[in-house]
Amino acid sequence: MNGGVLKGSRTTYALVCLITLVSVFPLYYTIVMASHTNAEMAASTPPILPSLSFFDNMKKALELAPLNQGLVNSLIVSGTITFGTVALCTLAGFAFAKLRFRGANILLAICIATMMVPLQMGVIPLYMLMARLGLAGHLTAVVLPSLCTAFGVFFMRQYISSAVPDELIEAAFMDGASSLRVFWSVVVPAARPAMAVLAMLTFLTAWNDFFWPIIVLSTQNPTVQVSFQSLATGYAPQQSIIMAGTLYGTVPVLLVFALLGRQIVGGIMQGAVKG
């Protein structure tokens, strides 16, 4: 039983439209900012509509900064992180949730504990570790630390322990399945919605990550956030070019949202909490 209990009234529509407007307006205004010079935006009544210079500014942004390279690298990095996270964290989450083994609670507790400490300061020892491993400046250095976060494991563990009934798993084991088979045929289908949600969140977080990539990467091999750094040059940075470049780097995210929107929204709705 999905979907609305009641039909939406006019007030409902009005409210929902208002909320959509508020949610989308800053994105729209970014387009406006990307179409006008600093001076035009500084006028006492700032412009409210975009203009055709938007495309010029976009072109200039592409000349100034390696945005395309950044996009490709970010797709590689975010894609790998997402894939790895979903795969590894679902496996580990399954183990924590359904398989009994000594030390599970301690290990889980350590997992959770690391999530509660802000890891910003860890950037320095992490960089030195990467340098020792010869990975500094490589995309691998950005992928590895996020490859399976404690959050992912905990998220999947919670979901699997409540969404997959023990009876089902028992039955599969009694039928002689190996744990891997149980995982693949019983757990994964049931956990698919959560996996979709985890994928979406992980992709977004990896895409927007700035602090670690700026330390470990360079303009020669940038992710998209690092490539933005080259947009503000000289003593007179043009906000329009910076905004145009930023938008260019957000387009893939919007595309992913649009493509998976129905799926993911469905995914979240089917699965955040199962009865």
Partner 1 sequence: MTAVQQSDVIVRPRPARRTRTHLPGRRAAYGYILPFFLVFAAFSVYPWLDTAWVSLHDTRLSTYDQSSWIGLENYRNLLTNHFFWNAFRNTITIGIISTVPQLCMALGIAHLLNYRLRGRTFFRVAILMPYATSLAAATVIFAELFDPNLGLVNWALHTVHLPTVDWQGSKWPSQIAVSTIVTWRWTGYNALIYLAGMQTISTDLYEAAAMDGAGRWAQFRHVTLPGLRPTILFTIVVSTIGAAQLFGEPLLYHNGLPDGGTQGQYQTLGLLMYQQGWTNDRLGLASATAWTMFLIIVAAVGVNLWLSRRRERHERRPGGRRRHGVVTAGVPEVTAR
Partner 2 sequence: MPRSSTHRRGAALLAVAALGAFVLAGCGSKSSSDSGTGSADAGPCGTTADTTLTVGLFGTFGFKEAGLWDAYHQVCPNITIKEDVVEQSADYWTRLKTRLASGSGLDDVQAIEIGFVADVVQNHADQFVNWNTVPNATADKAEFYPWKWQLASTSDGATTVGLGTDIGPEAICYRSDLLKQAGLPSDPATLASKWSTWDDFIAFGKQYDASSTKPSGSHFVDSAASIFSTAVYQGDEAYDNADGQPDVENSDGVKNAWTYASQAAQDGITAGLAQFTPAWNKAFSSGAFAALACPTWMMGYIQGQAGDNYAGKWDIAPVLPGGATNWGGSWLGVPDKAAHKAAAIALVEWLSAKDQQVTMWKDGGHFPSNSDAAAAPAVATAKSDYFSNAPVGQIFGDISSQMKIPPIGLYDTQIQQALTTQLTNVETKGTSPDDAFSAALDAIKQVTG
Q: Report the site for partner 2 in 225-254 (rule: CB under 8 A).
A: 228-238
Complex with partner 1: residue 69 or 239, whichever CB lies closer: 239
Distance CA 210, CA 223 (A): 9
Distance CA 147, CA 11 (A): 45
Report in angstroms how near the CB of residue 59 gets to partner 1 at its nearest.
20
Contacts (CB under 8 A) with partner 2, residues 152-211:
none
Site membership for partner 2, residue 7 (CB under 8 A): no
Q: Which two tokens stand for residue 205?
A: 């977080």
Contacts 24+ apart (CB under 8 A), 203-209: 203/78, 203/79, 203/81, 203/82, 203/253, 203/256, 204/253, 205/146, 206/74, 206/77, 206/78, 206/81, 206/82, 206/146, 207/74, 207/78, 207/252, 207/253, 209/142, 209/146
Among 7, 10, 132, 262, binds partner 2 (CB under 8 A): 132
Please give the C-alpha separations between residue 240 and each of 27, 38, 41, 56, 163, in angstroms, as whole numbers. 14, 7, 9, 10, 48
Report in angstroms how near the CB of residue 251 gets to partner 1 at its nearest.
10
Judged by CB under 8 A, the stretch of 53-61, 62-70, 172-180, 230-238 that binds partner 1 is 172-180
Among 40, 72, 88, 168, binds partner 2 (CB under 8 A): 40
Complex with partner 2: residue 182 or 242, whichever CB lies closer: 242
Q: Which two tokens stand for residue 94?
A: 């399954």
Among 62, 64, 72, 123, binds partner 1 (CB under 8 A): 123
With contacts defined by CB under 8 A, how many residues of the chain interact with partner 2?
44
Contacts (CB under 8 A) with partner 2, residues 63-122:
101-104, 106-107, 110
List, as one string, the DSSP characters of 194-230: HHHHHHHHHHHHHHH--HHHHHH--TTS--HHHHGGG
Site membership for partner 1, residue 101 (CB under 8 A): yes
Site membership for partner 1, residue 255 (CB under 8 A): no
Among 17, 19, 28, 37, binds partner 2 (CB under 8 A): 37
Distance CA 97, CA 99 (A): 6
Q: Which helix (H) or strand (E) holds 25?
A: helix 10-33
239 DSSP assignment: H
Among 53, 69, 161, 230, binds partner 1 (CB under 8 A): 161
Site membership for partner 1, residue 155 (CB under 8 A): yes
Residues near partner 2 (CB under 8 A): 37-44, 101-104, 106-107, 110, 123-125, 127-129, 131-134, 136-137, 214-216, 218-220, 228-238
